[in-house]
């Protein structure tokens, strides 16, 4: 765990990638808060990076606080809004304190996702919501995307540079999704070589995220699922998200703590 924390806490290039992200990518995330959480309520944005999503939540009327493992990422001019916290063991964050806890594009970078999810459930009030968005890295569509990146000579998704590996990933991920549908909670780790990894594009992802197993885990933690999937960046992706949600390329889960 310390290796990944050291990477994020010391990477100027990763911070620059986060700063250059378009604010438009956070619109679906903020919209979920608008749908499920009352304005002016206290919420915490976990793994907020450079704080863009947190500031957008505040603009939308929420009393949002942002947290990240890296002080280097967080804005220095609004320190009262942001805090350094590792949500695999966020001892300094009080329990039952927020109307909602959210995280976008963070859980795939967490080495102990079960602990991460348990901490998210812990800090939210009974009746409050857990909002998760991330890539669904065990989706067959991830292999398709990585193959297209290679064919179009783009920065390879997840740092996979062999088209044989990307095509194999399509079939491996079909099996992973089927196993999850059959009740297997794998929470499978992914090996990353931090010496050679490209910056961003989920090349540093250490957890093969699976929407079905996360949904099942949250239910076991005493949560009711309010929304499962239904998100996609293309027409085809949205059809898959509605008809075969566990196989969708995007992970989108909203749960309510009982």
The string of pLDDT tens digits covering residues 21-65 is 999 999 999 999 999 999 999 999 999 999 999 999 999 999 999
Question: Left if phi > 0, otherwise alpha if psi is -120 to 50, otherwise beta: which for 200?
Answer: left
pLDDT the model gives residue 102 = 98
pLDDT the model gives residue 233 = 76
CA angle 104, 110, 115 (to 5 degrees): 100
Burial of 216 (0-12, 13-18, 19+ CB in 10 A): middle
Distance of alpha carbon 115 from alpha carbon 118, whole angstroms: 5
Between 1-10, 74-83, 174-183, the lowest mean confidence (pLDDT) is in: 1-10
Distance of alpha carbon 206 from alpha carbon 255, whole angstroms: 24
pLDDT the model gives residue 1 = 56
pTM assigned to the model:
0.94
Tokens 């065990």 map to which residue? 138
What is the Cα 77 distance to its own chain's centre? 26
At 94, list the tokens.
Answer: 């009080």
The string of pLDDT tens digits covering residues 81-114 is 999 999 999 999 999 999 999 999 999 999 999 9
pLDDT the model gives residue 88 = 94
pLDDT the model gives residue 33 = 98
Domains of the chain as residue ranges with CATH:
2-136+210-257 (3.40.50.150)
């Amino acid at each position: 765990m310390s290796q990944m924390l050291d990477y994020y806490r010391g990477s100027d290039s990763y911070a620059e990638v986060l700063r250059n992200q378009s604010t438009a990518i956070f619109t679906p995330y903020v919209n979920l808060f608008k749908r499920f959480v009352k304005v002016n309520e206290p919420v915490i944005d976990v793994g907020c990076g450079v704080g863009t999503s947190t500031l957008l939540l505040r603009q939308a009327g929420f009393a949002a606080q942002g947290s990240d493992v890296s002080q280097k990422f967080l804005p220095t001019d609004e320190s009262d809004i942001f805090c350094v916290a590792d949500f695999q063991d966020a001892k300094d964050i009080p329990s039952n304190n927020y109307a909602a806890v959210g995280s976008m594009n963070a859980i795939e970078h967490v080495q102990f996702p079960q602990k991460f999810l348990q901490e998210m459930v812990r800090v939210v009030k009974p009746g409050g919501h857990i909002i998760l968005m991330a890539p669904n890295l065990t989706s067959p569509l991830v292999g398709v995307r990585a193959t297209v990146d290679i064919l179009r000579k783009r920065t390879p998704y997840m740092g996979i540079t062999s088209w044989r590996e990307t095509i194999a990933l399509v079939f491996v991920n079909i099996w992973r999704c089927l196993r999850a549908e059959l009740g297997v909670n794998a929470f499978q780790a992914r090996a990353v070589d931090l010496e050679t990894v490209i910056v961003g594009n989920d090349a540093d992802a250490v957890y093969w995220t699976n929407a079905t197993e996360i949904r099942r885990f949250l239910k076991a933690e005493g949560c009711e699922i309010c929304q499962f999937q239904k998100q996609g960046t293309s027409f085809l992706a949205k059809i898959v998200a509605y008809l075969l949600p566990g196989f969708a390329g995007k992970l989108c889960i909203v749960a309510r703590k009982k």
